[in-house]
Structure 1
């Protein structure tokens, strides 16, 4: 599945509300909607200028909705879904943040020599920290403008290539 616009992505993110997952830690199930918002909020605090990293934190959960009940492959599915809308960097970060090694994403493809590796590790750390029930991380609507900006920037850069 390839997302065609910010509205479609927002709808998918809204659909995460109430979907629960134990993702990798095997602990208490977390609401994917809350988890996405918490991950993005943690990244906004630690890297305020890096909108693509923040957006990667927000959208990294969508693969679980696209293939519910499947234990693996969610990061790749989410990465593929957002690539044409949000660009190669966001897609690469989403894909790399969930590699098999527990604390170090294994670089593959264009990221092998490092352009996404450090940021993917930062995303993974935020992902693992964003599991606090009841933490106020804002509302999804707060991210519409950021998603639109990242999408528009990608569209402009893609047109130049």
Structure 2
């Protein structure tokens, strides 16, 4: 599968609503949609200037939606899916958010993402709506597109 733009990415993120529940920290189940929004919102609060990190938090769970029966391959699937649209940094953060090797420069970013990933599992927390992230996704995609054009 290849994403042709932010609109297709938004459709996938919308499809996470009600999909494959994630165990909540305080009991109950948190769906992938709420988990993605909570993770991104926590990163927006802790790292307000780092839009790529926030977007990585938003899209990190897409592999679980697309391949729910593959607990080991879902991070690679999500990383490969978003790379052409959102770039290498977002892809790398998604790929390594559950553990594994990372470049030294990514270590602080990965720790922030992993912390938000674990903390973003609270049932009933209002983390906003997905539509609020469209502009940020478009910004990151446009930045990646401009950088790709320079190469």
TM-score by length of 1: 0.87
Distance 1:82 1:155, change over 3 A: same
Structure 1 ranges of 4+ moved more than 6 A: none
Q: What is the alpha-carbon distance in structure 2 between the residues aligned to residue 138 and residue 132 of structure 1?
A: 14
1:129 to 102, 115, 119: 119
Contact 2:38 2:127 in 1 (8 A): yes
Q: What is the alpha-carbon distance in structure 2 between the residues aligned to residue 28 and residue 115 of structure 1?
A: 36
Contact 1:62 1:78 in 2 (8 A): yes
Q: Which residue of 2 aligns with 1:57?
A: 57
Q: Deviations over 1:104-144 (max 9, x none)?
A: x432xxx3xx1222201110110000011110100000000
Q: What is the alpha-carbon distance in structure 1 between the residues aligned to residue 138 and residue 18 of structure 2?
A: 25
Q: Which residue of 2 aligns with 1:147?
A: 137
Aligned residues: CA RMSD: 1.5
Q: Which has the higher contact order (CA 8 A, sep 6+)?
A: 2
Shift of 1:49: 0.2
Q: What is the alpha-carbon distance in structure 1 between the residues aligned to residue 105 and residue 88 of structure 2?
A: 11
Shift of 1:28: 4.5
Q: What is the alpha-carbon distance in structure 2 between the residues aligned to residue 21 and residue 76 of structure 1?
A: 20
Q: What is the alpha-carbon distance in structure 1 between the residues aligned to residue 15 and residue 28 of structure 2?
A: 20
TM-score by length of 2: 0.93
Deviates more, 1:63-72 or 1:150-159: 63-72
Q: Which has the higher helix share?
A: 2
Q: What is the alpha-carbon distance in structure 2 between the residues aligned to residue 28 and residue 95 of structure 1?
A: 27
- State the number of aligned residues: 149
* Structure 1 spans left out of the alignment, 5+ residues: 100-104
Contact 1:96 1:117 in 2 (8 A): no
